Amino acid sequence: MNEDVAFISEQVDRHHAWFSKSLPMIASENIISPMAREMLLTDFGDRYAEGLPHERYYQGNTFVDEVEDRVVALAKKIFRVRHADARLISGTVANMAVYFALLEPGDIMTSVALSHGAHISSAKFGAAGMRGVNNVNYPFDVERMNIDVDGTAKLLRLVRPKVAAFGQSVFLFPTPLKELRDAFQEAGCQVWYDGAHVLGLIAGGKFQDPLHEGADVLTGSTHKTLPGPQHGILLSDSQDEKFIKRLQRAVFPGVVSNHHLHAMAALGITLAEFLEFGRDYAAQIVRNSKALAQALHERGIKVLAEKYGFTESHAVALDVAAFGGGAKVAADLERANIITNKNLLPWDTSPVKPSGVRLGTQELTRLGMAEAQMREVADLFARVAVKGDPPERVAADVAKMRKDFNTVHYCFSKDAEAHRRWRIA
């Protein structure tokens, strides 16, 4: 075998082996189902489709068009919307489409600050800055880990943004869109909600329904709480055909050429599975997050927003400054096969050495874990972060725990062989 091929193959195998005995808790990740994974290996991955279904610039899309039609229909049904575009290849690309559709260089956009949990695509050094957008940040209530409603309403009336953007990467609680509706109208702005992290919770009816609470457009990636492939989606319930056309043109030819047809097909499988299992899955994610947050709190770890129930989403935010800070704790946990990430908290100034760690329960839930296992996870976490046990010793107990949780749940089982073949172990 070629040396390079052998090396790459070996690293992938080592990665699979590592994650089969780890606790994956990155809030922006998940695992797809066996049937969805099969779509990623099809001939769709070798083909091109530019434009809308049945209006392509390439031949050979007869069956691709049929699949895309069905994916769009499923998305419209799940999110109860008039418009769905499944051609985005990531959540950030979906966000870029909104920048191109709704904002010109020099326009004002309001959004959450990075230190308050926003995504980098809204930052000056991210897609917003590249578009030349003047970004003004909302006042933030650190105790609630949410925007300050009264202050935000005043800001909107004062600066009159062209677009009011919402959404976070540390997304603990629903955004108060309904409370801000009057301010939106007075400011005359369009409202955009980046639901990348909470898309599955929105679809499962366990977070909020932004497109029916005041948002004009919803974007998201499809591989976080929505447990699909790494892809993106754009949704709107607007009846304004010109507005929809602007969004469509921004997608293609604006930010997408071919849209990764194999991932689009895998998204379709995910959406079909979500219709069947999504509400139960979303509910268990939230229960698990609450249970994990409470258990970590009881073990001496500072969990943010304690007074408000810690979280209403998949995410849990921790202040681990007392144990050496986010960078140290996340690195120690990784050696114990607990996969997390360091994260900025509202009072931090350095993204390299923040005081926080961010956790997500969506993947552990997907593997069949429930509240009892969250308490076990908290024990393992505390052994590393609080008690200072050798991470390698904790890793052995993590691996022992994972032995009973290596099958994907909340999905269709094509047959026993499919589960055997695509088992995480």
Query: Does position 417 have pLDDT exceeding 50, yes or no?
Result: no
pLDDT band at 350 (very low <50, low <70, confident <90, very high): confident
| pLDDT tens per residue across span 140-156 | 999 999 999 999 999 99
Q: Taking the C-alpha atoms of 135, 218, 216 and 122 in order, what is their torsion angle to the nearest 10 degrees?
A: 0
pLDDT band at 354 (very low <50, low <70, confident <90, very high): very high
| Separation of first and last alpha carbons in the chain | 25
Cis amide leading into 227 (omega within 30): no
Q: Does domain 35-272 have CATH number 3.40.50.980?
A: no
| 277 and 145 Cβ atoms separated by less than 8 Å | no
pLDDT band at 424 (very low <50, low <70, confident <90, very high): very low
| 369 and 405 Cβ atoms separated by less than 8 Å | yes
pLDDT score recorded for residue 414: 64
pLDDT band at 126 (very low <50, low <70, confident <90, very high): confident
Phi-psi region of 338 (alpha: psi -120 to 50; beta: other; left: phi over 0): beta
CATH topology of domain 24-30+278-421: Aspartate Aminotransferase, domain 1 (3.90.1150)
Side chain identity, residue 119: H
pLDDT band at 120 (very low <50, low <70, confident <90, very high): confident
- Give the pair of three-digit tokens for residue 7: 């090396």
Residues in the chain: 425
Q: Residue 364: name the closest of 374, 350, 354 by CA.
A: 374
pLDDT score recorded for residue 263: 98
- Cα 22 from chain centroid? 20
| pLDDT tens per residue across span 95-108 | 999 999 999 999 99
pLDDT score recorded for residue 125: 75
d(CA 305, CA 303): 7
pLDDT score recorded for residue 421: 43
| pLDDT tens per residue across span 256-292 | 999 999 999 999 999 999 999 999 999 999 999 999 9
Domain ranges for the chain, please list them.
Answer: 24-30+278-421, 35-272
pLDDT score recorded for residue 419: 42
pLDDT score recorded for residue 415: 54
d(CA 182, CA 373): 44
> What mean pLDDT is predicted for residues 384-412?
97
Examine domains 24-30+278-421 and 35-272 and report if their fold is the same. Answer: no
pLDDT, averaged across the chain? 95
Phi and psi at residue 192, to the nearest 5°: -120, 135
- Give the pair of three-digit tokens for residue 56: 């392509």
- Cα 418 from chain centroid? 26
